[in-house]
Amino acid sequence: MQIPIYSKTLVIKKNDLISIDIFKPPVIRTTFWALKLDLADLNEHVGIKRINGFFKQLKFTPENPKEFVAIVQELFK
């Protein structure tokens, strides 16, 4: 899975992915120590838990969070 961040792309390997789900704002309500890649506090957002990396939880807001999660879940089955 590739996540565009400004001019960089974050790649998460299939074996590193623990879970992916949709969360409602604010991020603090779901997890305090997650890395927010954008203004996830203000919108419905995607949360990813992974095995590796300094931040094990990532939060970001794609254009259509439900569609993004559905595609990723289908690819990672």
Rg (alpha carbons) of the chain, rounded to whole number: 12
Give tens-digit pLDDT for 17-75.
Answer: 999 999 888 766 666 677 888 877 788 999 999 998 888 899 888 889 999 999 998 98
Range of the domain at 22: 2-75
Closest CA to 65 of 51, 47, 45: 45
Beta strand 57-60 with 35-36 is: parallel
User: Structural domain tally of the chain?
Assistant: 1
Reported as a single tens digit per residue, the pLDDT across 3-19 is 665 566 778 888 999 99
Cα 4 from Cα 21, distance rounded (Å): 18
Pairing outcome for strands 17-23 and 2-5? unpaired
pTM of the model: 0.78
Alpha-carbon gap, residue 52 to 38, rounded angstroms? 21
